[in-house]
Amino acid sequence: MNISLLYFDGCPNWKQTEADLASLATEFDFTVNHQTVETIEDAERWQFRGSPTVLIDGTDPFARPQDPIGLACRIYQTPTGAAGAPTIDMLRSALGR
């Protein structure tokens, strides 16, 4: 399984996702590749819908067509409401698919 964490330095929310992925790495046997997105061209190439973005084997399991591509902090719809990062349970579910 190839896991990538895409982010830009202006958004601090990626650090929580990084910590959650690190705690799941042993359970699912993967390492995380970090990718900084610095330009709008990078965002378009990666289909980056905001920071943080997790790609599992090249696919964003949380992507919604209405989410814009660009350099912004991403909003995730979690069971407890809007948040700046997916919950660890959301990540575990996406990794288990």
Domain spans of the chain? 3-96
Contacts 24+ apart (CB under 8 A), 58-65: 58/2, 58/4, 61/94, 61/97, 62/86, 62/90, 62/94
Higher pLDDT, 67 or 6: 6
Question: Residue 97: what pLDDT?
Answer: 84
pTM over 0.85: yes
Q: DSSP class of residue 69?
A: P
pLDDT digits (tens, 9 = 90+) for 1-26: 999 999 998 899 999 999 999 999 99
Question: Residue 59: what pLDDT?
Answer: 95
CATH entry 3.40.30 includes domain 3-96: yes
For residues 50 and 73, the answer to whether their CB atoms sit within 8 Å is yes
Question: Residue 8: what pLDDT?
Answer: 92
